[in-house]
Amino acid sequence: MYKRLMIVVDKRPVSRAAVDEGLQLAAVHGASVVFYVAMPLYPMPLADVPPFVVVPPKEYLEAATEEAERLLSAAAVQATKAGVASRGVKGSGEEPAQGIVDTARRLRCDLIVVASAGRNALLRLLTGSIIPALITASPIPVLVCKLKSRSPRVPKKAIPTPNSDAARNGSSGTLSKRPFQTIRPQYR
């Protein structure tokens, strides 16, 4: 179904969710992957506010490029381990979401995979999330991934209901065709 996926990579830990999910999807479909890093714009200081630390634009660009190369390299290593063909692309522009969409169109990507920290709409607005703008601007489907919980899931236990054959016979009831009540253990 998919031939080429774009995975948006950044330095946030949640970005791993997009890389993991995108690589699994690409492996299943036999698709290639384009890793995309949005280059940050140089922050222009306001004229009336004295800057505390001024980094020259050239040094800022060098540091941003180095960080982008490191992110793309790490993602490419993961793709190689997963057996997925990949390439890296750096993009820049006033609107990161539009840059992602334009690059995905130009490279003929079938799906854009991004990561979300799972914040509410107000926090996304305040922290500058690109996901709402990306979903709105993109004619290409967008898959939003969240970081999986690190806590182990507690397996459900099947406990016989009082009227089931298993409860009357005292067995575990795994082979009974009668209904079982599914409960989760309570922790205190």
Q: pLDDT of 19-74, one tens digit each?
A: 999 999 999 999 999 999 998 876 666 556 665 666 777 888 888 899 999 999 99
Q: Which of 77, 79, 78, 104 is nearest to 89 (CA)?
A: 104
> What is the token pair recorded at 182?
């599914």
- How many degrees, rounded to 5, is the angle at CA 21 between CA 108 and CA 112? 25
Q: In 3-state terms, what secondary structure has residue 5?
A: strand
Tell how far CA 61 is from the center of its chain. 25
| Spans in the chain with pLDDT lower than 70 | 42-54, 119-128, 149-188
Query: Residue 18: CB partners within 8 Å, gap ≥ 6?
Result: 7, 8, 9, 113, 114, 115, 145
Contact 76, 88 (CB under 8 A): yes
Query: Which pLDDT does position 130 carry in this prediction?
Result: 82
The pLDDT of residue 173 is: 46
pTM over 0.85: no
pLDDT score at 108: 96
Number of Cβ within a 10 Å radius of residue 70: 12
What's residue 175's pLDDT?
Answer: 46
pLDDT at position 116: 86
